[in-house]
A and B are shown apart, each in its own frame.
Chain A
């Protein structure tokens, strides 16, 4: 290996676990979510209803990944501010330095890497903002999803206690007003947001691969091994 390259640690093990848990959960959420919205395969008519539970399993799967999203979101929100490794929020505050870097990264992308005037050793402010957008979309999915979910707990009871629907009402009832007033609007918005997230993912994957090919710094390895490699200056 070329000795002029140095290894830079970019993602902790926790970070990588969260990344892949999210990626897999996302695929499951989309598959089950689309089934819930419009059951697109049929079940065997000959079976008794108690045996198959197809919709119920899909909803179960959807809610399990929702819980995974719930928990990882809390962890990520915490790490965003308090991580000892890399405090991501510092990169999204619109300081002069961050804005300049943000623009440089876009120029780099637009000039097909003919101009690269920023330090790509550490997470740059463009990526940080882009990831923040993802987390906001995901949080929005959580809030709208939980609002849909709590409408099925209208008795105010739940197997884990009354505090649960109570808390969900406090934290998500406002989404109804924001989405357009009815629970149906929340559902429509929940479904639209899925497409924003998918579009986000498509560009995200493309961009990481593109960086890997054109920057030649093994960016894609960050999410597997935790490190990338940059030339010694």
Chain B
């Protein structure tokens, strides 16, 4: 009976946002051994570049102590018990054994920027620096035929082994002609399909690559879609948000380097360690939400006192992401922390459905009847008015010409 219950439970909850943070001692002991074997194999293998991790840390003024703090935080983020810390530290040093190809499709390069443009790179960025980036369309020096040759070589050398990072959506309109790349004018779609064929796993980063993002916002002129809509039959991880948090990219790569597997995913293929949390439930302004204290207008008394941003359109209650916990730029700050609401950038269709910067109840959206966009309440009041007019007409007609049963023979 109990295993049947377990079976049913698994069937129905495997894809929900639920996070199992404690899987039991035997599970972790087993995993620990597997990770150890994997790391020693990796160490024996040829590093893909000669970047020296501890040297890089030193150059950027990060001492051992900072590094160990980062290690514990990362271990906790991946929901592993503390005994995994030494393995995580080791995996960070072995990151240069993980070949990565990075494709740049229809987007603003914001995710690459998020990695690169931090003044004084933090440990997350350094870790991403030393992964063996075999090919990155925005960063590489090569161009034209030379670049294509480099890509072919990378695919050939690391066939079935490289992680494919994809940034940007795929325009499907006009046979994909909205986006082409390279000297031969290959469409983004064909480009992605060709490279993903030989990848060990595909990691879509940012709102565009995951769910189509801003290019896919109504009316979606280019017919943009996310990677998961076109790449089938490959292990796929979505790391949405605009931009994706480098912490979560590190988390996924780290998990892969450490265990050889992708982390546990939710129904939208987002890693649960990062997207199993609702912003609203870990938000520092939550007490003000419950108290009914809201910022009513930018810069008002409430804003000066860090009141809740719900009435300014914060979508934290409907958004799953860990930025209320890990924040951005090595926990310096995050959108709600700087005093503006969450726009739900890690959720599908966020530009149309979340980012209108007012509560949903006040937003002009498409009504079920079509026509001019209106708020839900405008639609409702319209409906009610129509019903009221109908009833009024019927009532007057009844009063004038209705037949009352008893005695009221007309």
A pairs with B:
yes
A residues contacting B by CB (< 8 A) are: 34, 37-39, 42-43, 45, 49-56, 58, 109, 112-114, 116, 151-152, 154-156, 165-166, 169-170, 173, 181-185, 187-188, 191-192, 194-196, 198-199, 202-203, 206, 210, 213-217, 231
When chains A and B are docked, how far (Å) is the Cα of A203 from the Cα of B354?
34
Q: Find chain B residues with CB under 8 A from A152 CB.
A: 278, 280-281, 317
When chains A and B are docked, how far (Å) is the Cα of A183 from the Cα of B319?
8
Q: Chain B, 11-29, contact with A by CB distance < 8 Å: what is the 0/1 string?
A: 0110011111000000000
Expressed in whole angstroms, the minimum distance between the Cβ of A3 and any Cβ of chain B is: 14
Inter-chain contact B18/A165, CB cutoff 8 Å: yes
Q: Find chain B residues with CB under 8 A from A217 CB.
A: 405
Inter-chain contact B347/A198, CB cutoff 8 Å: no
B residues contacting A by CB (< 8 A) are: 9, 12-13, 16-20, 267, 276-278, 280-281, 287-294, 296, 301-302, 310-311, 315, 317-318, 320, 344, 347-349, 353-354, 359-362, 365, 368, 376-377, 379-381, 383-384, 387-388, 391, 394-395, 397-398, 401-406, 408, 410
Inter-chain contact B397/A182, CB cutoff 8 Å: no
Main secondary structure of the interface of A (DSSP, over half): helix
Closest to B291 in A: A49
Closest to B349 in A: A182
Expressed in whole angstroms, the minimum distance between the Cβ of A200 and any Cβ of chain B is: 9
Inter-chain contact B291/A52, CB cutoff 8 Å: yes
Closest to B17 in A: A154
Inter-chain contact A192/B398, CB cutoff 8 Å: no
Q: Find chain B residues with CB under 8 A from A39 CB.
A: 292, 294, 310-311
Known: A169-B12, A214-B404. A45 touches B387 (CB 8 A): no
Q: Find chain A residues with CB under 8 A from B293 CB.
A: 43, 45, 49, 52
Expressed in whole angstroms, the minimum distance between the Cβ of A185 and any Cβ of chain B is: 7
Inter-chain contact B348/A181, CB cutoff 8 Å: yes
Inter-chain contact B365/A183, CB cutoff 8 Å: no
Can you name 15 extra interface pairs (CB under 8 A) apart from A49-B291, A152-B317?
A42-B294, A43-B292, A49-B287, A49-B293, A54-B291, A55-B291, A56-B292, A112-B394, A154-B320, A183-B318, A185-B353, A188-B365, A195-B381, A199-B387, A210-B398
When chains A and B are docked, how far (Å) is the Cα of A231 from the Cα of B407?
12
Inter-chain contact A170/B12, CB cutoff 8 Å: yes
Which residue among A39, A185, A199, A213 has the maximum number of chain B CB atoms within 10 Å of its CB? A39
Inter-chain contact A203/B387, CB cutoff 8 Å: yes
When chains A and B are docked, how far (Å) is the Cα of A48 from the Cα of B391?
48
When chains A and B are docked, how far (Å) is the Cα of A176 from the Cα of B393?
39
Q: Find chain B residues with CB under 8 A from A191 CB.
A: 360-361, 376-377
Expressed in whole angstroms, the minimum distance between the Cβ of B9 and any Cβ of chain A is: 7
Inter-chain contact A192/B365, CB cutoff 8 Å: no
When chains A and B are docked, how far (Å) is the Cα of A19 from the Cα of B400?
32
Known: A43-B292, A166-B13, A214-B402. A156 touches B344 (CB 8 A): no
16 contacts between A and B (CB under 8 A): A38-B359, A49-B290, A49-B293, A151-B318, A154-B281, A155-B18, A155-B19, A184-B344, A184-B354, A188-B365, A191-B361, A195-B379, A198-B380, A199-B387, A206-B391, A231-B406
Q: Find chain B residues with CB under 8 A from A109 CB.
A: 394
Inter-chain contact A198/B405, CB cutoff 8 Å: no
Inter-chain contact A55/B347, CB cutoff 8 Å: no
When chains A and B are docked, how far (Å) is the Cα of A214 from the Cα of B408?
9
> Pick the contact of A214 from B280, B387, B405 — CB < 8 Å?
B405
Expressed in whole angstroms, the minimum distance between the Cβ of B373 and any Cβ of chain A is: 12
When chains A and B are docked, how far (Å) is the Cα of A184 from the Cα of B353?
7
Q: Find chain A residues with CB under 8 A from B320 CB.
A: 151, 154
Known: A42-B296, A198-B384, A202-B388. A192 touches B353 (CB 8 A): no
Inter-chain contact A55/B348, CB cutoff 8 Å: no
Known: A43-B292, A165-B18, A173-B16. A114 touches B410 (CB 8 A): yes
Inter-chain contact A151/B361, CB cutoff 8 Å: no
Q: Find chain B residues with CB under 8 A from A49 CB.
A: 287-288, 290-291, 293
Known: A45-B293, A114-B410, A184-B347. A156 touches B18 (CB 8 A): yes
